[in-house]
């Protein structure tokens, strides 16, 4: 009789344990599904993370509701880690491509829900990535020599590699051409031009020491940030400047010195609003700007210490990003084009360097 009762007890206990486990699993599944967010309109913030800490991530700010969600890759992919030094991101059709520098990879996700799709790993030093045409993106990669990798998004692979200058950084698509700034840390002084249709290198022009960033202005001309050289890194000091070039003839239209010898590769980033006459840039003490009609005169715009700078082309709002020492949450602040602050400080991920508008 005791054995029979013991068997019944064991059977009942097994059923109860199974039901409890199933309940816990179902609760966990429901909790994960609740992490889905509305990514239909807003901005993706690129957070580099702390070097070697493997904590780079993407935040999303809904510009219609004002809701900010951090760590969306992890939340949408069952707590997966995105990687070490999330450098840049672009949108191509239904996909977002994320360059993860120190993890040496490009992550492809569905831009509508941020679910993982594929990983490209045959890169050694991926930096900046832009869409070029349907299903085609261009990525700067490598150091000496550097290259532009052509990514076929439909195939989810690199289909071509184009050798450019030393340590290529940002790219710009203009006049059906890809302009590539070569010269991180003052190690080059050129811009490479690639035909966006044939994807062939057509020309290389000299602009100035340390070419790292590029923007178009309202007249269609291209401004290149040349950070200069630093004695400790390149053997000599040269000042930083902005160089304006004609995108058709490649003639240099204007050169404006905006930094000084010994300023440690400042300014760092530039941006423009195509409906106005200004080029904005980050200096050590804040964001400054020049008027393209009178470029030799610079004016202070926003005071502060910033790591990233972007401008929303829909309305001219200026987004600035404070890295907070790469040890805790960075800060995103939004200003209108008159310099008025539009929001309270928003805590994003670690080391925010910019954003992508959707």
Q: What is the residue extent of each domain of the chain?
A: 1-34
Q: Centre a 10 Å sphere on the Cβ of residue 250 and count the other Cβ atoms it contains.
A: 15
Q: Listing from the earlier edge strand, what are the strands of the sheet with 126-133? A: 126-133, 136-141, 147-152, 157-163
Q: What is the pLDDT of residue 10?
A: 46
Q: What does pTM read for this prediction?
A: 0.89
> Which stretches within 248-345 are classed as H helix?
none
State the pLDDT at residue 236: 84
Residue 207 to residue 188: CA distance in whole angstroms: 10
Give the whole-angstrom CA distance, residue 78 versus residue 96: 18
Residue with tokens 């987004």: 319
Can you name the residues that pair with 140 across neighbouring β-strands? 148
Q: Report the C-alpha dihedral over residues 238, 85, 173, 73, rounded to 10 degrees.
A: -160
For residue 80, report the phi and psi dihedrals to the nearest 5 degrees: -70, 150
pLDDT tens per residue, range 15-73: 444 444 444 444 444 444 545 789 999 999 999 999 999 999 999 999 999 999 999 99
Using one digit for the tens of pLDDT, what is the confidence trace for 108-156?
Answer: 999 999 999 999 999 999 999 999 999 999 999 999 999 999 999 999 9
Asked whether the beta carbons of 306 and 319 are under 8 A apart, the reply is no
Q: d(Cα 82, Cα 79) in Å, to the nearest integer?
A: 9
Length of the chain: 358
Per-residue pLDDT of 295-328, as tens digits, reads 999 999 999 999 999 999 999 999 999 999 999 9
Measured distance CA(94)–CA(135) in Å, rounded: 10
Cα–Cα separations (whole angstroms), residue 257 to 224, 228, 230, 254: 12, 10, 15, 10
Minimum mean pLDDT among 2-11, 70-79, 241-250: which range? 2-11
Show Cβ contacts of residue 249 under 8 Å, excluding neighbours closer than 6 positions: none
């Amino acid at each position: 009789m005791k054995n029979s009762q013991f068997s019944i007890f064991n059977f009942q206990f097994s059923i109860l344990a199974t039901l409890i486990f199933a309940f816990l699993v179902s609760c966990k599944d429901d909790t994960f599904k609740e992490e889905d967010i509305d990514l239909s309109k807003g901005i993706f913030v690129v957070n580099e993370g702390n070097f070697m800490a493997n904590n780079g991530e993407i935040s999303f700010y809904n510009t219609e509701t004002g809701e900010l969600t951090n760590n969306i890759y992890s939340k949408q992919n069952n707590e997966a880690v995105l990687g070490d030094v999330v450098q840049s991101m672009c949108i191509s059709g239904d996909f977002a491509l994320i360059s993860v520098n120190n993890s040496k990879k490009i992550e492809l996700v569905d831009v509508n829900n941020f679910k993982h799709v594929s990983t490209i790993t045959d890169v050694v030093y991926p930096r900046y990535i832009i869409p070029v045409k349907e299903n085609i993106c261009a990525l700067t990669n490598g150091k000496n020599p550097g290259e532009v990798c052509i990514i076929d998004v439909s195939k989810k692979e690199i289909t071509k590699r184009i050798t450019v200058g030393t340590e290529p950084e940002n790219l710009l698509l203009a006049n059906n051409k890809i302009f590539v700034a070569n010269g991180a840390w003052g190690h080059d002084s050129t811009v490479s031009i690639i035909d966006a249709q044939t994807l062939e290198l057509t020309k290389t022009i000299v602009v100035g020491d340390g070419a790292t960033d590029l923007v178009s202005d309202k007249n269609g001309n291209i401004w290149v940030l040349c950070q200069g050289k630093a004695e400790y890194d390149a053997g000599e000091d040269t000042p930083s400047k902005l160089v304006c070039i004609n995108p058709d003839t490649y003639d240099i239209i204007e050169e404006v010195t905006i930094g000084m010898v010994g300023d440690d590769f400042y300014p760092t980033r530039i941006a423009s609003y195509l409906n106005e006459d200004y080029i904005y840039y980050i200096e050590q003490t804040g964001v400054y700007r020049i008027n393209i009609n009178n470029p030799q005169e610079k004016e202070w715009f926003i005071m502060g210490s910033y790591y990233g700078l972007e401008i929303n082309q829909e309305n001219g709002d200026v987004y600035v990003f404070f890295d907070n020492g790469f040890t805790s949450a960075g800060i995103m602040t939004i200003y209108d084009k008159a310099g008025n602050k539009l929001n309270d400080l928003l805590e994003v991920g670690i080391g925010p360097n910019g954003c992508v508008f959707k």
